[in-house]
Structure 1
Amino acid sequence: MSNNNKDNRRPKNTFNPMWIYAAVGLVLIGFWFFSNSMMTPVKPLDRSTFFDYLSKGYVQNVKLHLEENKVDVYLTKTALESEEFKKIAPQNSNSNMLSAPSPQYSFIVADNANFEKEFEQIKSEKSLNTTFENVAPDAFSKIFWNILIWVLFFALIWYLLFRRMGGAAGGGPGGQIFNIGKSRAKLFDENEKVRVTFKDVAGLEGAKEEVEEIVDFLKNPEKFTKLGGKIPKGALLVGPPGTGKTLLAKAVAGEANVPFFSLSGSDFVEMFVGVGASRVRDLFKNAKDKSPAIIFIDEIDAIGRARGKNNFTGGNDERENTLNQLLTEMDGFGTDTTVIVLAATNRADILDKALMRAGRFDRLIHVDLPELNERKEIFEVHLKPLTLGTDVESEFLAKQTPGFSGADIANVCNEAALVAARKNKTVVEKQDFLDAVDRIIGGLEKKNKLIKPKEKKRIAYHEAGHATVGWLLPHAAPLVKVTIVPRGKSLGAAWYLPEERQITTTEQMLDEIASTMGGRAAEEVVFGDISTGALSDLERVTKQASAMVSIYGLNNTLGNISYYDSSGQNEYGFSKPYSEETAKTIDSEVSKIIEGEYERAKELLRTNRDKLDLLAQKLLEKEVIFREDLVEIFGERIVNEEDAVMEPAGNATSPIDTNPSELIETVITKNSEEAVDKKD
């Protein structure tokens, strides 16, 4: 956006009253400095010299300031013209209409009465015409100037403090404290057109189709209204972080050619009571004035959380008041204007039901993690700015990044460019992208980390155990590579390549649990004891087994029962949806599943101990081994016929793994760093 456009939009004849206050303050300060500069510098004088001058008739006037015990001495004109005082005579010329005559000398006396008595005595003895004047303190002038100084000081504090608060709350410079209830939404119109279009949004074909229809209605409403249709009043974009919800909203702003108000749900929240509801009213008032218009509220769960769920808040909860006002503005009396509300959240399960009903958010648009073809399209968008080598293929990269969101893919491309630049390459090659994926999933490689040979051998057998069990089980995810080079918080890692899967069977989940427990099983089989290095493995299998028993109903003892609450109604509840007896049964069944698969993994490793030793020895020698090394030791992997077409996708269907960061964690089996910390 050019600066010229911004200058043209700025009002020409704006006047800020603060200029008046500033001008008055400058005048007063200038007057004070001018008055001080016009005053003649006064020279000090001792008491005896003063009475000597008085006796000689040099003194014309004496002023005694009673409050300060200070004496001002004014010499006669004849004295000033004499040789003795000629050097101070020009200073007397400063006396004019703007300033009173200045004294030539001044001194402090200890006792006013004694000084005045001695003065009168000399005056009478010498028959002098010198006048004596007692100057009482000017209380009014002093109080006036003190009050004026404090008023100016507090006016400055008010301006600097409350104007900033008002400006922050009111959405821009010049706002006052009274504008705190104004909307903080940023307006995008013809003067600030967004340059993102639907062509810049790769993948998300279903979501794009729905929001494009809203844009079409705003551009050509007769196409829909002639058949009796009505435009949806709201559309809610729901999906994991990084999937492109905000990008879709930007594309709508760029395509719709109508005023677009953008703000976050937290912009309504304030420490003052009633501010949130006031901002909602002001937002919709501005949108109605510019109708047709679109309002986009990002992270709407900040104010849209279900009411009455928090038992610790009173009936005057500020968030609830804000939500009530939002509900009224979206579908209440007087809502016949064309104002469409777009909102985005990754926590739709906690939103209030009244907000989700038809008439407010008519459309619930799911923006899911991209599939293989969608990841390919996203890679093609982010690969355009890069200088690529001939071996880079978007389809290959898409297959290497299952579970990655659009934001993750953008990060991979950027990291690959940084890796290539670090190696002083002229182009970004395929290996740079693979290194970038490893960096994002496992963390930074730590080649200089000191590990004892005994611990390194244990880590090698741990990772070899994962690889061996996973290779021998038909439903486990296919292995990519195994490494014992420390990376991030892990001392070793086994990379798998799970592919998308829509459903998961009991056998597939059990194989995955056994493969995950293969590391600890190898430690017990080889060394006869176990270590703390399997912390992340235990955490993962505990979640998987718990989900099998209490969520998916894959346990024969409990049967076809699920205690999962997809609506989030029990988020603030203190009671469990099952009895204590059932809780004991769940704990028992989860333990049986994990221990059973642990024994199964140990049996596989005992049967193939010679191959396990070969794999661990190769790991110690090379530190990184790939799928080809396992084929050399174990032969070609036997997979299930159903899995030959579509490989297992790990925990892709588990609700525990709805967060993309956790989905990425399922690609890698990490060891806890605690093992080294304990022994060192």
Structure 2
Amino acid sequence: MADKNKKAAPKKPKFSPYWIYGGIIIFFIALQIFGSSAGTENKTSPSQFFEFLKEGDIEKVEIVNNTIAKVYLTKEAESKEEHKKSKPTSIFPTTTKLPNYTFQFGDLKLFQESINTINKDLEQDKKAQVTFTQESNPWGELLFSLLPFILLIGVWIFIMRRMSSGGGGGAGGQIFNIGKSKAKLFDENSEVKTTFKDVAGLEGAKEEVQEIVDFLKNPSKYTNLGGKIPKGALLVGPPGTGKTLLAKAVAGEAKVPFFSLSGSDFVEMFVGVGASRVRDLFKQAKEKSPAIIFIDEIDAIGRARGKNAMSGSNDERENTLNQLLTEMDGFGTNTNVIVLAATNRADILDSALMRAGRFDRQIHVDLPNLTERKAIFEVHLKPLKKAEGLDIEFLSKQTPGFSGADIANLCNEAALIAARKDKKAVEKQDFLDAVDRIVGGLEKRSNLFSVEEKKTIAYHEAGHATVSWFLEHADPLVKVTIVPRGRSLGAAWYLPQEAYITRTSKFLDEICVTMGGRAAEKIIFDQISTGALSDLENVTKKAKAMVMIYGLNEKVGNITFYDPAGENGFVKPYSEKTAELIDNEIKNIVETQFQRALTLLESKKDVLKKLAERLIEREVIFKDDLEEILGKRPFTNHDSKLVIEEKTSTNEEE
């Protein structure tokens, strides 16, 4: 029974420093209220006072600070009926006599003359004695003198606590704990459900990080052979490819303390805070070693030093980076702390950060290929109620160039489309509609076009389709539509090959296809419209890449002006003469392919008109319609892995 009673006993409240603050405030308030007087007196008025004085009831009048009169009655007067309630009461024990009445008066000189006048008419033993005193409340004055400072300190504490987000003490000793690391700790007490099973595709990247996890679990397996545990691994890849997801899987699998934060968490408006947070982060990690630190978007602090001339040399971001470099590989570095970092801008990172000894490994997380997309679909299709017999391989073929995040969004969008149509399961067509929605944008059937506008758009898209059908290196066409989506008024959808290199002939054919819409307008209407803005942007970008980046132009030569790190700044790495040559060659490539498209469409003018009329009639036509009108495509150089569905759109720019 005793044990049960002990267990049932309520917990004592924890001590809080705010209790001390509250006690001090109450103490000062009590001094202010009770310090000026030890008792309470009855109030009276000057007119009543003079009546009491005429009757000889007043023994003494004490004038305090020339504004307040304290009235003391004689013993005989205190026994009168009218003065029985005037006896003062004392809050604290006192030996001094307390006044019976108090009141405030106006002019001191006039008040004193009135007392003297009445005293002359009274007998000697009934005259009132007048005295003068000065009273003060030192505690109250002290309180009022300290009050502004107390308010300022209180406001400052409030602001600093808000800015530091309630963090603890920092390694740099900043006041109010602003220098503490904001890293979120995952350890055996934290439930991280993500594992390597949840990371589909990325087989090579998974092997690398799994080995790092194994280093921490079984270090002797590697150190017995004289090897050293790697100090860091940098995950590099396009957005949405699963870098952060991979780090989450490491946190779920490692079973060691895992510190996670973003590069921007080091950045603060106060000088030295970033470096202090780095020190505090590594201090915590070393205390819990072996441990893993994950810094997402490390380019926020890892940008190459000395590139920003506007901020000068004493840059807070550079100080933070310098501290990170020292902690990762400096004197006294603890080898049991491994740093994982992720970025999609590895080209701008500082070379000192990228060297071996800091980030020993760079793990490239690329866009998934066909097999990896299939595995990613299998992961994201699990929670969906999908139709029986859904072909996952078909879906993976329709989504090349999609990242893992894009595929997750596609599956969710397909489920929303199916729900909008009140279906019981998500079907193949819902996924195709979702691809159209993501790549092309929201369908806008409410847009009302005039007959002339609709005809122009139809011939423009028919021009794209016809040119692509008769060029060897152009991508096969899947469908053509004049239903507006997003910013596009119409679109031609292609099925390009998954390839890692592109030849000059491929570039030129793609530019020719893109200019086919503009060429069709020129042939049919003998004028061109503003609808080809995106086409012009596309061909200019490709021609510029051919000349300036890939060295695919004979006159400019086998050189590149590609500058991913931005080291050239605002200075052109070529002369004015070369700049003029580059401009002329870019223009020459585009104009040559435009004339090529014109020539091809002039020879195919009859089928171009048939295709445009079919588009006006149906709004959307597919490969079967193209084969019916244009015949079998003469080129079949693409293999079975032609899997992308991509659009060339006509954008209206008003």
Change (3 A) 1:536 1:104: farther
Tell me what 1:19 maps to: 19
The number of residue pairs the alignment matches comes to 637
Spell out, residue by residue over 1:562-614, the C-alpha distance to the aligned partner (whole angstroms, 9 max, x if none): 22245x2x434333222222221111111111111111222222222333233
SS state at 1:403 partner: coil
Shift of 1:34: 8.1
Spell out, residue by residue over 1:10-68, the C-alpha distance to the aligned partner (whole angstroms, 9 max, x if none): xx9975534312332244446767899998697674x545434443456666554546x
Q: Verify: 1:668 aligned to 2:647, yes or no.
A: yes
CA distance in 2, matches of 1:451, 1:103: 98
Spell out, residue by residue over 1:171-193, the C-alpha distance to the aligned partner (whole angstroms, 9 max, x if none): 89xx9735333322222111114
State how 1:292-331 maps to structure 2 within 5 Å.
292-331=290-329
Tell me what 2:92 maps to: 97
Spell out, residue by residue over 1:129-188, the C-alpha distance to the aligned partner (whole angstroms, 9 max, x if none): 54545453526354213024334423422331223334456489xx97353333222221
Change (3 A) 1:531 1:223: same
Tell me what 1:507 maps to: 505
Paired residues of 2:400 and 2:643 also in contact (CA < 8 A): no
Q: Which amino acid aligns with 2:634?
A: I
| Match of residue 266, structure 1, among 252, 264, 287 | 264
**Greater mean alpha carbon deviation, residues 570-579 or residues 285-294:** 570-579
SS state at 1:480 partner: strand
CA distance in 2, matches of 1:349, 1:539: 25
Q: Which amino acid aligns with 2:647?
A: I
Instruction: Report percent identity of matched pairs.
Output: 62
Q: Which amino acid aligns with 1:639?
A: F
Tell me what 1:607 maps to: 603
Tell me what 1:211 maps to: 209
Paired residues of 2:460 and 2:520 also in contact (CA < 8 A): yes
Spell out, residue by residue over 1:91-148, the C-alpha distance to the aligned partner (whole angstroms, 9 max, x if none): 8665432799687663542x21111111222133234454545453526354213024
CA distance in 2, matches of 1:21, 1:345: 47
Paired residues of 1:182 and 1:278 also in contact (CA < 8 A): yes
CA distance in 2, matches of 1:266, 1:140: 52
| Match of residue 285, structure 1, among 283, 289, 297 | 283
CA distance in 1, matches of 2:424, 2:369: 31
Q: Verify: 1:589 aligned to 2:588, yes or no.
A: no
CA distance in 2, matches of 1:629, 1:65: 110
Paired residues of 1:483 and 1:619 also in contact (CA < 8 A): yes
Change (3 A) 1:334 1:152: closer
CA distance in 2, matches of 1:578, 1:136: 90
CA distance in 2, matches of 1:148, 1:592: 80
Paired residues of 1:465 and 1:518 also in contact (CA < 8 A): yes
| Match of residue 379, structure 1, among 370, 377, 380 | 377
Change (3 A) 1:36 1:576: same
Spell out, residue by residue over 1:280-307, the C-alpha distance to the aligned partner (whole angstroms, 9 max, x if none): 2222222222221111111111222222
State how 1:55-66 maps to structure 2 within 5 Å.
55-57=54-56, 62=61, 64-66=63-65
Paired residues of 1:187 and 1:261 also in contact (CA < 8 A): yes
CA distance in 2, matches of 1:262, 1:316: 28
Change (3 A) 1:145 1:320: closer
Q: Which amino acid aligns with 1:669?
A: T
CA distance in 1, matches of 2:459, 2:62: 103
| Match of residue 164, structure 1, among 162, 165, 169 | 162
CA distance in 2, matches of 1:74, 1:285: 73
SS state at 1:533 partner: coil
Change (3 A) 1:121 1:409: same
SS state at 2:554 partner: coil
State how 1:173-184 maps to structure 2 within 5 Å.
177-184=175-182
Change (3 A) 1:438 1:177: farther
Shift of 1:538: 0.9
Q: Which amino acid aligns with 2:17?
A: P
SS state at 1:491 partner: strand
Change (3 A) 1:62 1:601: farther
State how 1:450-599 maps to structure 2 within 5 Å.
450-565=448-563, 568=565, 570-599=566-595
CA distance in 2, matches of 1:637, 1:75: 125
Q: TM-score, normalised by structure 1?
A: 0.85
Paired residues of 2:494 and 2:647 also in contact (CA < 8 A): yes
CA distance in 1, matches of 2:287, 2:137: 58
SS state at 1:263 partner: strand
Spell out, residue by residue over 1:365-390, the C-alpha distance to the aligned partner (whole angstroms, 9 max, x if none): 10000111111111111111111122
| Match of residue 642, structure 2, among 647, 650, 672 | 647
CA distance in 2, matches of 1:77, 1:390: 109
CA distance in 2, matches of 1:635, 1:477: 16
Tell me what 1:6 maps to: none
Change (3 A) 1:39 1:13: closer
| Match of residue 190, structure 1, among 175, 180, 188 | 188
SS state at 2:292 partner: strand
SS state at 1:329 partner: helix
State how 1:61-76 maps to structure 2 within 5 Å.
62=61, 64-66=63-65, 69-71=67-69
Q: Which amino acid aligns with 1:347?
A: R
Spell out, residue by residue over 1:476-503, the C-alpha distance to the aligned partner (whole angstroms, 9 max, x if none): 2233333333322222222323341111
Paired residues of 1:501 and 1:648 also in contact (CA < 8 A): no
Q: Which amino acid aligns with 1:418?
A: L
Spell out, residue by residue over 1:609-660, the C-alpha distance to the aligned partner (whole angstroms, 9 max, x if none): 333233333333333333333233223333342x2444397xxxxxxxxxxx
Q: TM-score, normalised by structure 2?
A: 0.88
| Match of residue 103, structure 2, among 103, 106, 111 | 106
Paired residues of 1:234 and 1:341 also in contact (CA < 8 A): yes
Tell me what 2:252 maps to: 254
What RMSD in Å do the two structures reach over aligned CA positions? 3.2
Paired residues of 2:275 and 2:320 also in contact (CA < 8 A): yes
CA distance in 1, matches of 2:608, 2:491: 16
CA distance in 2, matches of 1:533, 1:73: 99
Q: Which amino acid aligns with 1:613?
A: K
Paired residues of 2:32 and 2:139 also in contact (CA < 8 A): no
Tell me what 2:408 maps to: 410
Q: Structure 1: give runs of 5+ residues left out of the alignment.
A: 1-11, 650-665
Tell me what 1:656 maps to: none
Paired residues of 2:28 and 2:140 also in contact (CA < 8 A): no
Paired residues of 1:167 and 1:177 also in contact (CA < 8 A): no
Tell me what 2:9 maps to: none
Change (3 A) 1:308 1:84: same
Q: Verify: 1:619 aligned to 2:615, yes or no.
A: yes
CA distance in 1, matches of 2:482, 2:99: 91
